[in-house]
Amino acid sequence: MLLSLGLGFLSANARIYESYAPFGISLCASLPFFAALPSFFGSAVGYVVFSGSSSGFRYIASMVAVIAIRWTLSDIRKINRHSFFPALVCSVPVFATGLAILSVSGFSLRLLSLYFLEALLGGAGAYFISRTIVIFSGTKSLGMLTPQELASVILSGCIFLLSLVPYSIGPMSVGRVAAVAVILFAARYGGIAGGAAAGTAAGAVLSLYSLDTAFLGAAYAFGGLIAGLFSPVGRFALTTGYAVAALIMSLQTGSPSLVIAGAYETAVAVLVFLALPPDTASFMRAVFAPDDSSANAEGLRRSIIMRLDFASKALSNVTQDVEDVSEKLAGIVTPTISEVYKEAVDQTCSRCGMKVFCWEHRDGVSMESFDYVTEKLQNKGCISADDFRDDFRKKCCRTGEMASAVNRSYESYLAGEAAERRIEEVRRVVAGQFCGLSDILCEMAQEYADYETFDTTLADRITEKLKELGLHPTAVSCRTDRLGRMTIEAESADTDKKIISRALMVHELSKICGRRFDTPALTYAYGSCRITLCEQPCFDAETASSQHISGNGRLCGDNLRYFTDGTGRLTAILSDGMGTGGRAAVDGGMASSLMEKLLRAGLGSDCSLKIVNSALLVKSGDESLSTVDVVSIDLYSGKVSFMKAGAALSFVRKGSEIFRIETPSLPAGILPDIEFSKSQDELSQGDIVVMVSDGAIATGEDWIERIICSWDDRCMQQLCDTIVDEACARRSDGRDDDITVVAMQLRAS
């Protein structure tokens, strides 16, 4: 509001033809309604100070009409959101008050034309300022602007430069000195395109100040073009080229005083340009500089995508081949119960003299004679001589020795079966790892396909800046996705957290790239640090948690982690190990720790779950399982993904409505093949997501819904504490369990 007040006062002094100042009204018609009132008061004071009583009161009356129209139509959103609404709201009162003055002072075609031109320029100013406000209210940085949006920003800036023109130091105008300096910086970082664009816009607007300054349109435009042409040579060549070009165009005025004043203004602007540090206004590079690296990097990007995709398919084929071969071998080498009896016969009958009679005589024994004891053998695990049929005992003189041999062979058979089952489990885990690697490579290929360009030139400049900050980067990637969002990824040999200043890194890299970056995410692994920065999202999230440990112990089976991954996503992970105490704490902690490391490293949720599941399966011979509950919020768009593996339900409050997120699934660590059950939603500012462990809902879920639905603007930490305390108080069955609650509320960034 203070900024609106100051800009209103300043814009009231932006004049055309020295007598008309409609841009204070333009600002009042463009700002959001809460800021329009401060701009009204600032502009009103400015009009009284700069325009005198008669003209000033006319403009104040126009602004009153603007405020009244906007307040009257404030409920009609379709009209308020139209891009030309500010222009019409501004131009109609300006022209109407001009007609009112004509009706009193007498009709004049010249004055009518000037009042119409004033209303037209005021409406144009309102349009450009309103578009600029919309642009900077969003998440777009200057490097993401379209040519139309960039034109609105430049022309809005020139309007405020016009308000500085009346201020002078001797023969020099402060506004024109500032305009020349801006043109020089635009040419320095934008080349011909930047110099010509800034020069044309500044010349077109500032030449409206008076008839005597009409030459500025040609001088600034031609000077900016020549400055951009000489920008690759150096700053001195750039300033010399601009000065000569502007002087040539100024000579057409025929007024020595204007030429001399223009020369002074150019000299002062050049001195300011040369005195400031070389990287001043480097953000303009992202606006005007062409992306020369995109064409060179495109072939490499496509090659990487094809290689990753082919490797993914090859690993998928390996998984299928392993399964096919194991099935065929199982049919060939798998032992059967009949082999147990054959081995027992070989051990017992090979040394018996009655072997020929028993096995070759018509009334002897056969392998079918053993079928009678199979059921007993499988039920008891062993047999005795009495378990054979009577006819077998009469014919066999070594029944007791045969029973012992069968028992020994059966023990070996059972051990082989157990080993085969374990081998099958390991085989499935290994095959699952091949499948997981295939998924990882497939996701990487898709991720690279989503990135539109890789800026190698900017990556080199970022590398140099990181070295200046005292780091030792080994690799730097700077890429832009299809939505125009830039991501910086760097790997450094520095693992001392005290060396890396996140705030300084954000400041310096934002200045180099001309974009606003969010706080970097740091991941440490194997003696290196991975640094990831993304552009500042439009949303932030207040995140809090609260926990109760079963029996007020020290080890909790619930394990919670939440973090931002450096790509604009907030992720929360809640895992619940089987049971309570130390064993559950180990399983839950292992699951959440692995999940966090894999997601931070850039792996997808499905691939990460498969690896976590395999780790729990092979961790020990005992059964080991844990639920996994993951919530991921895209802070750019507000889209939220819920992924559950055996986890309890979650709650989402959108406005005044509350929804349950409950999908059936199995926890990790039970079966080799496991998948997340997934659901998605879209959040807006003020919406709340609450995750709970199963201990919180042991006495029902309705009371949790009531607490969340009636929660006001108090902090999320109080919400978590309230739910945990209520869950403990409601537990009346004499049992206790671990309870964990996580709450996240979306807020404007």
Q: Is the pLDDT of residue 743 over 90?
A: yes
Nearest to 653 by CA among 699, 605, 713, 569: 713
CB atoms near residue 46 (< 10 Å): 24
CA 365, CA 224: separation in Å to the nearest integer?
111
The distance between the two most distant Cα atoms of the chain, rounded to a whole number of Å, is: 144
What tokens does 558 get?
A: 């619930």
CA 454, CA 475: separation in Å to the nearest integer?
14
Q: Which residue has the higher pLDDT, 448 or 85?
A: 85
CA 604, CA 567: separation in Å to the nearest integer?
13
CA 79, CA 66: separation in Å to the nearest integer?
14
CA 653, CA 407: separation in Å to the nearest integer?
65
CA 272, CA 265: separation in Å to the nearest integer?
11
* Predicted model pTM: 0.52
Tell me, letter by letter, the H, E, C secondary structure of 403-443: HHHHHHHHHHHHHHHHHHHHHHHHHHHHHHHHHHHHHHHHH
Average pLDDT over residues 361-388: 76
H or E element in which residue 552 lies: none
Percent of the chain with pLDDT over 90: 13
CA 369, CA 344: separation in Å to the nearest integer?
13
- Cα Rg of the chain, angstroms: 39
Lowest mean pLDDT among 213-222, 279-288, 534-543: 279-288
Q: Is the pLDDT of residue 717 over 90?
A: yes
CA 48, CA 13: separation in Å to the nearest integer?
10
Spatial CB neighbours of 386, under 8 Å, sequence gap ≥ 6: none
H or E element in which residue 59 lies: helix 33-72
Q: Is the pLDDT of residue 679 over 50?
A: yes
CA 604, CA 592: separation in Å to the nearest integer?
15
Average pLDDT over residues 369-375: 77
CA 42, CA 301: separation in Å to the nearest integer?
53
| Contact by Cβ (8 Å): 301, 448 | yes
Lowest mean pLDDT among 204-218, 436-450, 542-556, 674-688: 436-450
Q: Can you tell me whether residue 697 is helix, strand or coil?
A: helix
H or E element in which residue 747 lies: strand 739-748
CA 409, CA 337: separation in Å to the nearest integer?
10
CA 63, CA 39: separation in Å to the nearest integer?
10
Go through the chain and tell me how many residues it has.
Answer: 749
Average pLDDT over residues 153-176: 86
H or E element in which residue 745 lies: strand 739-748
pLDDT of residue 365: 67
Spatial CB neighbours of 471, under 8 Å, sequence gap ≥ 6: 492, 494, 499, 500
CA 201, CA 219: separation in Å to the nearest integer?
12
pLDDT of residue 705: 92
Q: Is the pLDDT of residue 295 over 50?
A: no
Nearest to 695 by CA among 542, 591, 584, 592: 584
pLDDT of residue 14: 86
Q: Can you tell me whether residue 559 is helix, strand or coil?
A: strand
Nearest to 254 by CA among 217, 212, 224: 212
H or E element in which residue 736 lies: none
Query: Could you read off the pLDDT of 552-593 as tens digits, one per residue?
Result: 877 888 889 988 877 788 999 999 887 766 778 888 888 888
CB atoms near residue 104 (< 10 Å): 6
Q: Is the pLDDT of residue 744 over 90?
A: yes
Nearest to 297 by CA among 92, 64, 153, 458: 458
Query: Could you read off the pLDDT of 308-350 as tens digits, one per residue?
Result: 666 666 656 655 655 665 565 555 455 677 788 888 888 888 7
H or E element in which residue 353 lies: none
Phi then psi for residue 618, to 5 deg, are: -100, 0
Q: pLDDT band for 492, please (50, 70, 90 cuts).
A: confident
Q: pLDDT band for 434, please (50, 70, 90 cuts).
A: low
Nearest to 371 by CA among 332, 406, 334: 406
Average pLDDT over residues 526-551: 86
Q: Is the pLDDT of residue 543 over 90?
A: yes
Q: Can you tell me whether residue 104 is helix, strand or coil?
A: helix
Instruction: Give strand ranges (E) for 451-548.
Output: 451-454, 473-481, 486-492, 521-525, 528-534, 539-548
Any idea of the CA torsion for 216, 220, 221, 223, to the nearest 10 degrees? 140
Q: Is the pLDDT of residue 103 over 60?
A: yes
